[in-house]
């Protein structure tokens, strides 16, 4: 029996017995039964590196943390971020793209997404400080999902040390910010860090310093790699689909022409990027930004005639639905029109998960990608230097050679 012929099958990952749930019914079951039959589960490496973050808490504590965190990345908060996103994108392009004939997209987008997170989450603007944090963050990422062998020289050991360095940097910034807030010197800052420092839960309890530090690190992690991957893959597909590129360009130039000279993008402009977002959505179907995530059975239960014992790890993957012609006709074809009208059927296109554990930064990802796309497309056209470059998952999708491209400025950039 082929694995996908069954609605659930057993395998082994990270030394654990894992039941893999397949298809939209499996997605719906797991997303709908959080805190009832299942809880979130991460490999031991994640638990050790971000102990007090939302990734590692369950039940009422998870609800408490998520409620506090959500208000910093909800739609109202995002509206105030758009102009700053635009400024960072413009500066990134001036320093990393303009005047160059070739760009390696993945590492360059990596720098952009990390800088943007530093600026929006903690108002860290100093390039030297950002570069120092980026160095530690790169080492940290390599060991987040890895065998937790804490011996000098191992990937996890290096990640742990870099994680400690990152936490210390975040802690110092948080203490400086708290002191400034106490003196009424920082009331104008509207970033994630200030929000976490002053927002209490329903009982009036503030987050501890360690909770703030671990959750800041978690949000850097979840908002960074998936967005970098998505941006890179959008660039790849626009190079491969010139007719799609031209339609995106037309939409973005119309928006650019509606702006006064020097006027920054606003939330209303993001809402006009309808075709561009359909293109991004199709890219996320073709190459989902995550391979999947884990849950853990907290009771014995039955699914599709199979008994799942308490303690088993459970896994869902967007890849079990995104290439299935039963849900996406001509599934191998790139077709942004799939997202017109009502779009795909529920639970078939879930690049950021669903239910109570849906990716916290989902709303943040959309403007982040679209602002970047607006600034790149209206300035450049490009070609792939390695046309058939593979995009393996390790654990997130990234081109084997970083997606090198040849860029050509438009004759008259908007």
Q: Which domain holds residue 146?
A: 3-409
- Write out pLDDT tens, residues 127-144: 999 999 999 999 998 898
Residue 192 has pLDDT above 80, yes or no: yes
What is the reported pLDDT for 354? 79
- Mean pLDDT value of segment 321-330: 93
For helices 155-182 and 209-240, the axis angle rounded to 10 degrees is 110
Q: Which residues contact 183 (CB under 8 A, 6 or more apart)?
A: none
Q: What is the pLDDT of residue 29?
A: 95
Reported confidence tier of residue 355, pLDDT bands at 50, 70, 90: confident
End-to-end CA distance of the chain: 56
Asked whether residue 113 is domain-assigned, the answer is yes
Instruction: Give the domain CATH number at 13.
Output: 1.10.630.10
Q: Confirm whether 11 is domain-assigned.
A: yes
Mean pLDDT in residue range 182-198: 77
Say if 81 falls within a structural domain.
Answer: yes
Is 225 contained in some domain? yes
Q: Are 381 and 410 in contact (CB under 8 A)?
A: yes
Q: Give whichever of 42-51, 62-71, 236-245, 336-345 has the largest mean pLDDT.
A: 236-245
The whole-number pLDDT of residue 360 equals 67
Least confident of 93-97, 187-191, 194-198, 362-366: 187-191
Q: Considering the domain boundaries, does residue 13 fall inside one?
A: yes
Q: Which of 4-8, 133-137, 391-395 has the lowest mean pLDDT?
A: 4-8
Bridge partners of 18, per DSSP, are 11, 313
Closest among 21, 20, 27 to 348, alpha carbons compared: 27
pLDDT reading at 3 higher than 50: no
Q: Is the pLDDT of residue 414 over 50?
A: no
User: What integer is the mean pLDDT of 369-379?
Assistant: 98
Domain count, the chain: 1
Please report the pLDDT score of residue 375 as a whole number.
Answer: 98
Q: Is 233 flagged in the annotation as binding? A: no
pLDDT the model gives residue 186:
58
* pLDDT at residue 403, rounded to an integer: 98
- What pLDDT is attached to residue 232? 97
Q: Are 34 and 357 in contact (CB under 8 A)?
A: yes
Q: Is residue 414 part of a domain?
A: no
Per-residue pLDDT, 2: 41
User: Is 196 contained in some domain?
Assistant: yes
Q: Is the pLDDT of residue 191 over 80?
A: yes
Weakest mean pLDDT among 52-61, 295-304, 327-336: 52-61
pLDDT level of residue 226 (50, 70, 90 thresholds) = confident
Helix axes 362-377, 242-257, angle to 10 degrees: 90
In the structure, what pLDDT confidence band is assigned to residue 185 with cuts at 50, 70 and 90?
low
């Amino acid at each position: 029996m082929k694995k996908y012929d069954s609605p659930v099958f057993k395998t082994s990952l990270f030394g654990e017995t894992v039941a893999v749930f397949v298809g939209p019914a499996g997605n719906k079951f797991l997303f709908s039964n959080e805190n009832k039959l299942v809880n979130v589960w991460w490999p031991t490496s994640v638990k050790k590196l971000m102990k007090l973050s939302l990734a590692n808490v369950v039940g009422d504590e998870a609800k408490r943390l998520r409620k506090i965190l959500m208000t910093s990345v909800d739609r109202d908060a995002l509206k105030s971020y758009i102009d700053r996103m635009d400024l960072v994108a413009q500066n990134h392009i001036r320093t990393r793209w303009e005047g160059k004939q070739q760009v390696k997209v993945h590492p360059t987008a990596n720098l952009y997404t990390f800088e943007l997170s530093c600026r929006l989450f903690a108002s860290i603007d100093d390039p030297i400080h950002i570069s120092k944090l980026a160095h530690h963050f790169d080492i940290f990422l390599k060991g987040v999902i890895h065998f937790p062998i804490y011996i000098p020289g191992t990937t996890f050991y290096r990640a742990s040390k870099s994680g400690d360095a990152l936490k210390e940097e975040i802690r110092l910034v948080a203490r400086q910010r708290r002191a400034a807030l106490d003196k009424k010197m920082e009331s104008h800052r509207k970033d994630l860090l200030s929000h976490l420092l002053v927002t209490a839960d329903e009982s009036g309890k503030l987050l501890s310093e360690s909770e703030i530090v671990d959750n800041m690190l978690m949000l850097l992690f979840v908002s960074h790699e998936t967005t970098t991957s998505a941006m890179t893959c959008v660039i790849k597909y626009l190079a491969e689909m010139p007719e799609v590129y031209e339609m995106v360009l037309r939409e973005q130039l119309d928006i650019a022409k509606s702006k006064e000279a020097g006027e920054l993008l606003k939330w209303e402009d993001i809402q006009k990027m309808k075709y561009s977002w359909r293109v991004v959505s199709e890219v996320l179907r073709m190459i989902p930004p995550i391979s999947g995530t884990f849950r853990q059975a907290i009771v014995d239960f039955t699914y599709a005639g199979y008994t799942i014992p308490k303690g088993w790890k459970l896994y869902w993957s967007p890849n079990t639905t995104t290439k299935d012609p039963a849900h996406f006709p001509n599934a191998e074809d790139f077709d942004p029109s799939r997202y017109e009208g009502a779009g795909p059927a529920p639970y078939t296109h879930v690049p950021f998960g669903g239910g109570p554990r849906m990716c916290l930064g989902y709303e943040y990802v959309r403007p982040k990608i679209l602002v970047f796309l607006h600034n790149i497309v209206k300035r450049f056209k490009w070609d792939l230097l390695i046309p058939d470059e593979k995009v393996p998952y390790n654990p997130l999708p990234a081109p084997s050679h970083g997606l090198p491209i040849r860029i050509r400025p438009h004759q008259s950039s908007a």
